[in-house]
Chain A
Amino acid sequence: AQSVTQPDIHITVSEGASLELRCNYSYGATPYLFWYVQSPGQGLQLLLKYFSGDTLVQGIKGFEAEFKRSQSSFNLRKPSVHWSDAAEYFCAVADNYGQNFVFGPGTRLSVLP
């Protein structure tokens, strides 16, 4: 069965600084990988996903993520954080059929003015 870890419970960055959120997964085959964001009072919004192909994936809101098979990682990055990016971020892995989602515990992002 697949699993996901997000080592950082809470990260604080200054507005305009760069951001990297870590995600490590465990899955026997090539996984389907996702990053979601949840703003206060909202549901999950899909930022980006990786199914196959180019290992650097571009998403919405200026986010990108890189799939590194050798490290079993799918870290989320943004070159310049905006105050509106303060939210909770979830990494998820699914099986080859895009089903059986397993979500990481989430990383809360705070942004300082």
Chain B
Amino acid sequence: NAGVTQTPKFRVLKTGQSMTLLCAQDMNHEYMYWYRQDPGMGLRLIHYSVGEGTTAKGEVPDGYNVSRLKKQNFLLGLESAAPSQTSVYFCASRGWSTGREKLFFGSGTQLSVL
């Protein structure tokens, strides 16, 4: 049971390049989330999904797209990276564990846009 796995862990892009971050969970969770974390800001929600085939915008969705074609995977795409998207990105899923519902976080992806 791997939990929530994010790939890649680190990435450096040039302005205008595109990339996709992958989040995979093996716990059969319906809810999945993408956050970005910036110094002094806490976590901010980019997009989320309440089930396979569904996505919704969070607090800071501009410049990002997402897809949830399979229940276990939630992809975050940057079509044209900008320096303002330099951040640490966290994926999370939500589900039951030991009698209560909990959030499960990936280990994060450090993205730098030059």
Contacts and interface: CB of A to CB of B under 8 A. Distances in A.
Interface of A: 9, 34, 36, 38, 41-46, 49, 51, 88, 90, 92, 97-99, 101, 103, 105-106, 108
User: Chain B, interface size: which category?
Assistant: 20 to 34
B100 A43 contact: no
Interface stretch (B2-10, B17-25, B44-52, B77-85): B44-52
Contacts, number: 51
Contacts of B13: none
B65 interface: no
Interface in B82-107: 88, 90, 100-103, 105
B12 interface: no
Contacts of B48: 42-43
B48 to A, nearest CB: 5
* Minimum-distance CB pairs A-B, first 10: A43-B45, A46-B42, A43-B33, A43-B48, A43-B58, A34-B42, A98-B39, A41-B50, A49-B42, A105-B102
Contacts of A41: 31, 50
B102 A44 contact: no
Nearest to A42: B48
